[in-house]
């Protein structure tokens, strides 16, 4: 999954490591406008790239060099599922998830054109 956002005039990309990995690392990286534009232009030009990123993760099509400023481990993972039309059950389990924040130094597309 890839998310692009803008907060206080700064651009960010958010993505996770391989979706099949048991331990997840979610990256939140500050990027410059040119890097965001390159990602969006490539996604708009090639819809298959978008599907690859959604299915296999951002790192399947890009190499990212980043300066990581902070890494935190989440303590709980909460999942919910429906038990009918008006009931939802929540499950709390220890999380194998980390959140890494920092700055994107460089990124390169390595997917197929």
- For the chain, domain boundaries: 2-109
Bridge partners (DSSP) of residue 75 are: none
Residue with tokens 């960010």: 12
Question: For position 44, what pLDDT does the model report?
Answer: 73
pTM here is: 0.74
Contacts of 77 (CB under 8 A, 6+ apart): 92, 93, 94, 95, 97
Token duo for residue 13: 């990309």
Tell me how far CA of residue 22 lies from CA of 17, 28, 40, 109, 110, in angstroms.
10, 19, 29, 25, 25
pLDDT for the residue 77: 82
How confident is the prediction along the chain (113 residues), in pLDDT tens digits per residue? 778 899 999 999 998 876 666 778 899 999 999 999 988 887 777 666 566 665 556 666 788 899 999 999 988 888 888 887 888 888 888 888 899 999 999 988 887 76
- At 41 the pLDDT is 82
Contact 59, 108 (CB under 8 A): no
pLDDT of 79 reads 80
For residues 59 and 99, is the Cβ–Cβ distance under 8 A? Answer: no
Helix, strand and coil percent figures for the chain, each rounded to 5:
25, 55, 25
Encoded tokens for 55: 């299915």
pLDDT in the model for residue 84? 78
């Amino acid at each position: 999954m890839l998310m692009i956002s803008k907060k206080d005039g700064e651009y960010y990309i958010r993505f996770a490591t391989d979706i099949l990995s048991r331990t997840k690392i979610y990256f939140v990286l500050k990027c410059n406008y040119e890097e965001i534009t390159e990602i969006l232009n490539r996604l708009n030009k090639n819809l298959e790239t978008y599907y690859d990123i959604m299915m296999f993760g951002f790192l399947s099509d890009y190499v990212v060099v980043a300066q990581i400023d902070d890494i935190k481990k989440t303590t709980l993972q909460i999942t919910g599922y429906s038990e009918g039309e008006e009931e939802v059950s929540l499950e709390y389990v220890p999380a194998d998830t980390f959140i890494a924040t920092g700055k994107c130094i460089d990124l390169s597309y390595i997917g197929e054109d």
